[in-house]
Amino acid sequence: MRFGTILSVLSFCAAAYSKVYFHETFDDDSWEKRWVQSTYKDDYGKFKISNGSEFRADPVKSRGLQTSENAKFYSISAPFDENFNNKGKDLIVQFSVRHEQNIDCGGGYIKVLPPSIDPKEFNGETPYNIMFGSDICGANKKTHLILSYKGKNHLIKKEIPTEDDTYTHLYTLVIKPDQTYSVSIDNVEKASGNFEDWDFLEPKTIPDPDKTKPADWVDDEYIDDPNDKKPDDWDEDEPQYIDDPEAEKPEDWDDDMDGEWEAPKSENPKYKGKWTPKKIKNPDYKGKWVQPEIPNPDYIDDKEIYVYDSGYVGFDLWQVKSGSIFDDIVVTDDVEEAKTFATEVMDKIKAEKEDEERVAAERKKIMDEQNKEAAKKADAMNKRQRKLERQNHPEAYADESSSSSDEESGEEMEEAKEETKEETKEETKEETKEEKKEESKEEEKKDNVKDEL
């Protein structure tokens, strides 16, 4: 068998065994059968289905699960189609979120949960495998990536940026069996690395407790120059500021009224401050002492930190201002399948922005027409005002040039034409009404004749 054929078979097998364990788009009402509202608390905020208040590229594809009440905790979850152990497989978690409310403080992340949870009891203390997504509060804005290991939640040591505008954004996490990861937003990588970006394990080495810095170790790189001497005329007692010798008490200064006069201060030309010798390289300097390291007896390597048993996704959030719309949720072991879903979401995001541009153009057109109409009315009002002023105070306009009179006459003619047009329109309307009335009367007469016959 040729090598290319072997690769084709292997690729086919890999594709055949790849699987989507969870996919949710909220495109219809069947989501209610899958998602379970937690009853752990009786005052959780309510989720609702929404396709956004505006810029809906598609009324169906824009549908998502939206937070609807301010200053509330939210807790809801849904099971996978089947449980997923990702040992030896990629783990991809992907979803979109749109903070339509212009979020000021709240979570926008998803949790991947083990199969053993009780969805009715799901809450902030429920153990989870992965927490991933935006977390925003004031100036603190980041993408959370917390992974659980041996019952403890570990926050990534990197700062991953996030998006906080009012558009839809796609968040993608990929964890590989070699314990590397990548985080992308809108198909643009924002962070990547390996599991050393978390403190999962004890350090490989520790400082040797039996080693201490030798007593004769010199770690002062510079010392005072022993040959540098303070000059004889260096007076450390001279003050930095003295009374201004050129200042004089004003003649009109009254000590009883103004208080005792004090001369303003000026820099003391003799001031030099405290003398210190200059520094030179220390000939005995050995460098900074570093405590030797030894292997850490508590360190145990683990090549399966990445392995999780997963069976649910959930949203466990707090939001001050509600309005976030969650959608396009995917959990799979197939990177290519996730990319396919991502392409669909990016097309939706593009369409949303095009819709926004269309709405903005329509609003601008309406505003321009309103401004044009307002300017026209203001101009007409100014013309009427000038006409009244000329009629009431002709002497004030006696010196105006004949051109202004001609201009006024031209304007009056244009106004007269416009008035004539309007009158003609009104007359035409009236004539049409009369004709319709006559036609209606004729029809009635014909109907009456028929009835008599």
Single-letter amino acid code for the residue at 351: A
Does any domain span residue 403?
no
89, 281, 340, 356, 393 from 335: Cα distances, Å: 10, 59, 9, 31, 85
**Is residue 56 included in any domain, yes or no?**
yes
**What pLDDT score does 5 carry?**
43
- Kindly state whether residue 118 falls inside one of the protein's structural domains: yes
Give the integer Cα–Cα distance in Å for 69 and 235: 73
Q: Is residue 393 domain-resident? A: no
68 belongs to a structural domain: yes
Give the range of the structural domain holding residue 344, as residue numbers without chain letter.
19-201+306-359
Residues paired with 452 in a beta bridge: none
* Inside any domain, residue 98: yes
Report whether 341 contacts 328 (CB < 8 A): yes
Structure tokens at 363: 């609003």
Residue 345 counted as domain residue = yes
**Count of domains observed in the chain:** 1
- What does each of the 453 residues of the chain score in pLDDT, given as a tens digit? 443 444 444 444 444 478 999 999 999 999 999 999 999 999 999 999 998 887 666 788 889 999 999 999 999 999 999 999 999 999 999 999 999 999 999 999 999 999 999 999 999 999 999 999 999 999 999 999 999 999 999 999 999 999 999 999 999 999 999 999 999 999 999 999 999 999 999 999 999 999 999 999 999 999 999 999 999 899 989 999 999 998 999 989 988 888 999 999 999 998 999 999 999 999 999 999 999 999 999 999 999 999 999 999 999 999 999 999 999 999 999 999 999 999 999 998 898 888 877 877 888 888 888 898 888 888 888 888 888 888 787 777 776 655 555 555 555 556 555 655 665 666 666 666 666 666 666 666 656 545 554
Structure tokens at 159: 């700062």
Residue 324 lies in a domain: yes
Query: Whose CA is closest to 379, among 418, 425, 420, 422?
Result: 418
Q: Look up the pTM and report it.
A: 0.69
What distance in Å separates the CA atoms of residue 438 and residue 252, rounded to the nearest whole number?
A: 104
pLDDT at 256: 87
